[in-house]
Amino acid sequence: MGRAGHSFGLLRRNRDFAALWAAELFSTLGDRVHRVALAALVFRLTGDLTETGIAFVATALPDLLFGLVAGTFVDRWDRRRAMVACNLLRVPAVLLIPMAAHVHLWLAYAILLWVNTLAIVSRPAKTAMLPSLVKPDELHAANSLSGIMENAADVLGYPLGGILVGTVSAWLGAEQGLLAAFAFDGLMFILAALCVASIRHRGGPQVATAAASLWDDVREGIAFAWRHPLVRANTLVMLLGPLTLGAAWPLLVGYAWDVLGGGEREYALLGTGISVGSVLAGVWLTRLPAGRTGLFVIGGLVIMGLGVMGTAAVSHLWLAVALIAVSGVGSMMVLVPSVTLIQRHTPDGLLGRVFAVRSTLIFAATIVANALGGMAGERFGVQRSLFASGAALVALVLLAALFPSVRASEGPSLLREEPQAAD
C-alpha cells in the first residue's frame, strides 16, 4: 500500500505532471463523449451502418496516413505549445461537425479528418514530454497513472456520452442533444489546453538540424527503432497483440448479439469490463518497482490471450464480462512497461518519431486483423474465431519468448538523472 500511495502521491508532489495528467483526462473524456455523439449523429441522419463505419474510418485514417510525419513534427516543435495549439484548434472544428453534417455528410467527414490529424500530433507529444517532467525512477508510476486515467475515462466517458445525448435530447430535442455533446467535447479541449499551458517546463524544438528533410527525419526514427535491440524486440512482440486480438473487436460485436443474445448494452459491458480490468491492473502496477520488462510484456500478452479464449468459451453475460476483464489486466501489463522502456532507451530528440512508428504499425496491424476477424466470424462462427484469436496470441508469444532479447529486462537508461522542471 505504501508504494501505491507514493505513486498516486506523484500527482500531488509534481504540479507539472498533474497538469499533463489532468489535460489528458479532460481530452479523453471529451473524446469518448465525442465518439458516442458522432455515432448517434451519423446513424440518425442516414440510418446506415456503412455510413457510420465511414465516420470511424475518417476518425482513424490520419494515424495511418500522417502518423510518421506527425512524430517528426513532435520532435521539431516545442511539445508543450504543440499540445496547446492542437487542443485549441480542435474546439471550433468539433462544434462545426453537427452543423456540417446537416449540410453534407462528407463535409463532416472532412472536419473529422482534421480533428484527428491534430490528435495524432498531441498524443506522441504528451508521451514524449513525460520523461522531462518526472524523475527517471518515477516514469513507471507516471505511465501507470496515465493508463489508469485513460481506462477510467473509458468507463465514465461512454456512459456520460449516452446520458448527455439522451437526456438533453429528451428535454430539448434530438438536434440540441447532439449539439450539447459536441459542445461538451469542445469545453474539454479548452480545459486540456489550459492545463498544458500551466506546465512550467518548455521543451524547445528537439531536432537540431531543422534543415533536414521530413523524410530524413522519418527514416532516422525508423532506423533507431529497428537498430536498438530492446526497442526492436519490444515493438515486434507487442505487435502480436493487435495482429491477433485486433480480430476480436468485430467478433465481439457478433458475440454480444448472437452468443449473449443481447445488443448494444452487452457490447458496451464487454468494453467496460476490459477498461475495469485495465484500471485494476494499473493500480497494481503502481505498487511494483520498474524492471523485468520483457517478462512482464510476455506475461501480459499471454494473459490477454487467455482472457479472450475464456470469454469465447462461455455464453453467460457476467461471466463473459469477468473473463474479458482479464484481458484488460494483461493489456496494462504490456502497455506500461513498454512505454516506460521506450522512454528510457530513446534519445529525447527521437521520442516523437519512435512512438509514431510504433503507433503506425499498431494501427496497420489492427486494420488487417479487423478485416480478417470479420471474415473469420462469418465463415467459422464467432466463438470459434474468437477462441482462435486468443490461442494464436498465446502460441506466438510463447514462441517469441524463446528469443533472449524478448525476455530481456531494462538495460542502461539514456535518461537524465533529474527532469528539467523542478517538482
One digit per residue, the tens of pLDDT, for the chain of length 423 reads 445 555 678 888 899 999 999 999 999 888 888 877 776 777 677 765 455 556 656 666 787 788 888 888 888 888 899 999 999 999 999 999 888 888 887 888 888 888 888 888 888 888 888 888 888 888 888 888 888 888 888 788 777 777 777 777 667 666 777 888 889 999 999 999 999 999 986 555 555 444 567 788 888 999 999 999 999 999 999 999 999 998 887 788 788 888 988 765 677 788 888 888 988 888 888 776 666 778 889 999 999 999 999 999 999 999 999 999 999 999 999 988 898 889 888 998 888 889 889 988 988 888 788 778 878 888 898 899 999 999 999 999 999 999 888 887 665 555 554 444 444
**Residue 82 near residue 122, CB atoms below 8 Å:** yes
Question: What span, in angstroms and rounded, lies between the C-alpha atoms of 412 and 251?
Answer: 42
Q: How far apart are CA 234 and CA 406, in angstroms?
A: 7
Q: How far apart are CA 50 and CA 41, in angstroms?
A: 14
Cell numbers of 103, please? 449540410
Best CA proximity match to 282, nearest among 155, 182, 402:
155
pTM of the full predicted structure? 0.77
Please tell me what DSSP assigns to residue 191.
H
* Nearest by Cα to 393 from 239, 179, 218, 166: 239
Q: What is the pLDDT of residue 417?
A: 46
Please state, in angstroms and rounded to a whole number, the distance separating the CA atoms of residues 136 and 415: 6
Nearest to 131 by CA among 120, 122, 140: 140
- Give the chain's domains with CATH numbers: 1-200 (1.20.1250.20), 214-411 (1.20.1250.20)
Instruction: Tell me the HSE value of 189 on the side-chain side, using a 13 A CA sphere.
Output: 28
133: three-class secondary structure by DSSP: coil
Grid cell locating 365: 496491424
For residue 314, give the 3-state DSSP assignment.
Answer: coil
Residue type, position 175, single letter:
E
Spatial distance between the Cα atoms of 297 and 314, rounded to a whole number of angstroms: 26
Cβ proximity of 52 and 42 under 8 Å = yes
